[in-house]
Structure 1
């Protein structure tokens, strides 16, 4: 490795990586494909690689202020989280419950290959969030339905999560509804591995601000029924 400090504005590396980016390690002589699973927002000098040793300690040729990126072997991610498509981080507490070999890297050490694609799911396997209370009218959404019918899919993939009975919508209820109305049987979706509370938090941030007063009251009541005293920490 060169003695020149890398990172920051280093033109040798495209550092535009995000959750779900497939990457290779530029320091690995026989690189395997990795997937970015988390970006904690901390620098490599703030993130421990092992107890008492930071990622910066293990990467002395990189700017210690560079952001750390957590990546794991693509094959291991696919085996443990088969529907993961990126866009949403895999929580490290969840990864730590597996045998996945995840590692912290300086962002500029990783070379992007591509983004994980959406996964196509049968619409019959996708159900709404338990907090969703809005209804949609076909007559008011003719153009939206037709655009999905012509394209064969929504312009932006809905976000879902795996649950015991299939998949639950986190964001994209109208897109799923319109896909049904357009006569589709399956659509590409982004899939996140989040628990009930994390899903509720994401749902609340994405939907409650756009609800009218009556819809907000109904949705908030459902959240309070589900989470009790913890509901206030979930609501935006």
Structure 2
């Protein structure tokens, strides 16, 4: 791979807003992924079975590829996406009616997605979350969030529904709880899109390792009842055998 620098030498990655330097249109695109396993010679266009490299013969065939979605499709299909995580090619095919694959160096960076304000009333705790908080124990955190303000690190959410909007927490339960305590109506968050399986993996990597063993085993047992191959959803060192054996006799 030759790197992920655009036409102006700036980094192109998921969450980058770009324009196509070879197009006469002023259309803006959102980069959702620069999959490292593909060069433009290795990505085949579904509509005609030709590679991206064959469509762009003036580019190095080993160049990185960018998956981009036009701004209109972005607004219509993944409006809360903030670019904090990439969208896999498989997930993009499921989520989006269309997206494009282009050489990275053809693109010029013109902006970047940012975390978005989400109403706290639309945010649901993760189904596997087991921690509880008290005002007395979290006074410093609560005091650090001004009315109408935000915590330093945006929580990470996963959309559960669009009408009405509902989001499941993947990271930042304590921060969302503290924002609710100070009666903030919104909190600035990152939002990822993809499969439910990948979303739960994001949660598990952040939280399973922090739980004491009995709690961790109970959570993994519940996960094993909901998902196959639960061992793929947690860090390698976490033993899932007991939970899996109980869930699948």
- TM-score (ref. length: structure 2): 0.82
DSSP 3-state at the match of 1:217: helix
Equivalent of 2:39 in 31, 38, 43? 43
1:127 and 2:124 equivalent?
Answer: yes
Deviations 1:148-202 (A, max 9, x none): 2277012121111111371101111121112122331211111122332122111
Task: Extract unaligned runs of 5+ from structure 2.
Answer: 236-249
CA distance in 1: counterparts of 2:93 and 2:6, whole angstroms: 34
Mean CA deviation greater in 80-89 or 153-162: 80-89
CA distance in 1: counterparts of 2:95 and 2:185, whole angstroms: 34
Mean CA deviation greater in 107-116 or 207-216: 207-216
- Could you say which residue in structure 2 is the equivalent of 1:210? 210
Indicate conservation of the 8 Å contact 2:66/2:102, yes or no: yes
1:30 and 2:25 equivalent?
Answer: yes
Shift of 1:212: 2.3
CA distance in 2: counterparts of 1:225 and 1:232, whole angstroms: 12
- Tell me the matched-pair count: 229
CA distance in 1: counterparts of 2:87 and 2:6, whole angstroms: 29
Equivalent of 2:16 in 21, 25, 40? 21
- TM-score (ref. length: structure 1): 0.86
1:230 and 2:226 equivalent?
Answer: no
DSSP 3-state at the match of 2:187: strand
DSSP 3-state at the match of 1:82: coil
Shift of 1:103: 1.2
CA distance in 1: counterparts of 2:55 and 2:188, whole angstroms: 39
CA distance in 1: counterparts of 2:50 and 2:17, whole angstroms: 26
Shift of 1:222: 2.0
Shift of 1:97: 4.3
Mean CA deviation greater in 30-39 or 134-143: 134-143
CA distance in 2: counterparts of 1:101 and 1:221, whole angstroms: 38
Task: Extract unaligned runs of 5+ from structure 1.
Answer: 1-6
Shift of 1:31: 3.0
- Could you say which residue in structure 2 is the equivalent of 1:59? 56
DSSP 3-state at the match of 1:85: coil
